[in-house]
Amino acid sequence: MTSTRTRDRMLARLREQGIKDEATLSAMGEIPRHIFVDEALSIRAYEDVSLPIGFGQTISQPYIVARMTEILRNGTQLNKVLEIGTGCGYQTAVLSRVAREVLSLERIRPLVMKARDNLRTLKCTNVKLDHADGSEGLEDYAPFDGIIVTAAASHVPEELLSQLTEGGRMVIPVGTDTQTLYLIERLGNDYKQTKLEAVKFVPLLGGLG
């Protein structure tokens, strides 16, 4: 279940689901999703489902990872990307293949340690992880040309908007009972919001765990 053939089937399914960006598909094919989940769940690693990673968190289904990456890329080379919610590091690893630099924040310390081990195994040398409250972003390293949020916010955080560069893009799930994925683009001092599709994420929480 961890073979190249299994990953090829996942890529074929992603294409059927509408993912077209070849850089995103290449990254999805290159990153072994099974190393990011417990061994007991590895048989399900390439199914299109989210899986538990402990501490009430999940690894997103492959379609959502690919969809958010494709939207963030928009067919261009990403330079500096901020990820809010590292989790086990799977989305981070995919981003590392399509961006020059990835900075990722995770509020749960044991997940930071787990993600560091996973990313070290894959030699993702262009990634910096921090144990931090992601809802505040990372102002010292701003601006970012891409921000990706992997937990559902009750509203779009103003702190994150201000950390986007001109022309920058943020992909974020918003909502509580019902969640919607949004693309937010910075156009000068204005922000264009585009509602994309219904999603289901764990909630974005503040503070450290």
Burial class (CB in 10 A: 0-12, 13-18, 19+), 155: exposed
* Structure tokens belonging to residue 161: 């908007």
45: nearest Cα among 92, 98, 9: 9
Give dist(CA 21, CA 45) in Å, integer.
Answer: 22
What is the rounded radius of gyration, in angstroms, for the C-alpha atoms of the chain?
Answer: 16
**Burial profile 174-209: b = 16 or more Cβ within 10 angstroms, e = fewer:** bbeeebebbbbebeeeeeeeeeeeebebbebbeeee
To the query of whether residue 60 is one of the catalytic residues in this protein, the response is yes
Give dist(CA 31, CA 90) in Å, integer.
Answer: 8
Residues 179, 168: contact at Cβ < 8 Å?
Answer: no
End-to-end CA distance of the chain: 33
Indicate which residue of 50, 60, 96, 135 is catalytic. 60
Give dist(CA 160, CA 124) in Å, integer.
Answer: 25
Query: Hey, which residues are catalytic here?
Result: 60
